Structure 1
Amino acid sequence: MRDFHKPQMPGKPHFEAQPDREDPAETAAAGHRIATLLVRGPRDEADQQLVDRVLHLADTEGLSTIAELWAHAPADTLAGSLWRLYALRTWVHRNPETAAHEYGIGKPFAPVHEVLAGVVDPPGPAEVITLVDTVVRGIVGPAFDVTLDRAAAFAHIVGIGRAQLDSGDPGSAVRLVDTAIQLRRAADLERTVGLH
């Protein structure tokens, strides 16, 4: 058993070694293939290791590597929706107190979204981290549309909360609500025709 090594997901060195790495079409195609594999790939219900690797993909590979693959993808694609999920998770992990505070301010203005998001009340830093981690784990689950809906609800509430606080950057609240709208649209498409 000493010679056994746990399989690893391809990392940044793998992508850097690929020819034509600078070609935007090749990068987009690679990003689409990886997104499809993550969401639609073969599943073994007992494969908790896959769920853990997907959860920590941004931590292990770096958000910049993910951005190279998915940040320019349209919001209504698998790659584009994954980018938004990982960007949201990374922001919450870096700013859990801010996320919890903005969520707490926004939830009275969006009670339906609060139920869908599923954050424990009162929402503290640990609770918002748990929520975004649970959402990202849903990427490899059977209901990707629900994963997108929950992320959309959370982003909507935080965006509303940020707008209420008047942080001096109203554009950031608008961008967060726009992200919520994009995730909700992606969830609708996933339910009706399936994202590609």
Structure 2
Amino acid sequence: MPAPHHRPVRRPSHAFDNLVGSHDPAEETRVAHATASALLARVRADESGVSAERLVAFTSENGIDEIAELWSKAPSRTLPGALWQLYVLQLAIHGDPQTAALLYERGRIELSSADPVIAGAPVPASPDEIVALIDTILRGAFRGDFAVALDRAAAFCRVQASGATHTADDYEGTEPERASELTSRALRLSAYAQDLSAAAVLWRSGGLG
């Protein structure tokens, strides 16, 4: 938990909504790419892992504004865009781990792909274990193979999207508004999965700018 003197943490009212960014597109692009590349290089150079742990814990202590100002407007399939998506996923899961765990388990049951194995959650995964998983994926982006971290995040999104889609179907006849919210969530997660998978391919080829 943040110490009492920290300012309140900004959390989006829905998992992927109401996120802020800067206003100068040209400067934003330059700063986004420069800071993402410099930060990743610096953290990877810290063999102690302290820098990576600080970045994993960053949003809990500081909120989302500082990261949003740097990376939220970057194209999705760029280094800053991929880092931004990882942080949004982390914040969303930390914000509502119970729902995340329910959707993940439903998606795991419904999917016939290898995505649950790639994502790497326990079976079944508790809310705390889902939180630990997304933190591990983010940590892997800073300390391990960046493309592998992106692939795991993409697989995680696909499992969650499947769970949200099937749960939306359950609510369609009785709670259409809830069904609509879950369908929208599934679409956003699916889009994230596509972008993160594409970013992983670009990273491996040296093209993730």
Aligned equivalents of 2:48 and 2:205: distance in 1? 28
Report how many aligned residue pairs link the two structures: 176
The 1:45/1:39 distance shift into structure 2, 3 A limit, reads closer
Q: 1:174 to 1:42 in 2, by over 3 A?
A: closer
Distance 1:24 1:76, change over 3 A: same
2:100 aligned partner, one-letter code = A
Report SS of the residue matched to 1:73: coil
Code of the residue aligned with 1:180 in structure 2: it is: A
* 1:24–1:153 distance in 2 versus 1, CA, 3 Å: same
Rounded to whole Å, the distance in 2 between the matches of 1:124 and 1:100 is 6
Partner of 1:10: none
Deviation at 1:172, TM superposition (A): 1.9
Within the candidate set 184, 193, 196, 2:197 is matched to 184
- Give unmatched runs, 5+ long, in structure 1: 1-20
Judge which range, 153-162 or 53-62, deviates more: 53-62
Structure 2 distance, partners of 1:92, 1:42, is 24
**Are 2:118 and 1:105 aligned?**
no
Instruction: Output aligned runs, 1:84-163, within 5 Å.
Output: 84-110=85-111, 111-163=113-165
User: 1:44 deviation in Å?
Assistant: 4.0
Instruction: Choose 92-101 or 109-118, whichever is displaced more.
Output: 109-118
Give the whole-Å Cα distance in 2 for the aligned partners of 1:44 and 1:132: 22
CA distance in 2: counterparts of 1:115 and 1:78, whole angstroms: 25
Q: Is the 8 A contact 2:107 2:160 kept in 1?
A: yes
Deviation at residue 42 of structure 1 after TM alignment: 6.2
Please name the residue that 2:60 is paired with. 59
Q: CA RMSD in A?
A: 1.7
How far is the alpha carbon of 1:104 from its aligned partner?
0.3
- Displacement, 1:131? 0.5
Hey, what's the Cα distance between the residues in 2 that align with 1:42 and 1:191? 19
- Contact 2:157 / 2:193 at 8 angstroms: preserved in 1? yes
Q: Which residue of 2 aligns with 1:49?
A: 50
Q: Is the 8 A contact 1:38 1:139 kept in 2?
A: no
Using structure 1 for the length normalisation, give the TM-score.
0.83
How far the C-alpha of 1:65 sits from its partner, in A, is 2.0
Distance 1:154 1:22 in 2: 31
Identify the residue that residue 173 of structure 1 maps to in structure 2. Answer: 186
Report the secondary structure of 1:66's partner residue: helix
1:98-150 per-position Cα deviation (integer Å, ceiling 9, x unaligned): 00000000012334000000001111101100100001111222410000000
Is the alpha carbon distance of 1:42 and 1:124 closer, same or farther for their aligned partners in structure 2, counting shifts above 3 Å?
A: closer
Aligned to 1:80: 81
Match of 1:14 in 2: none
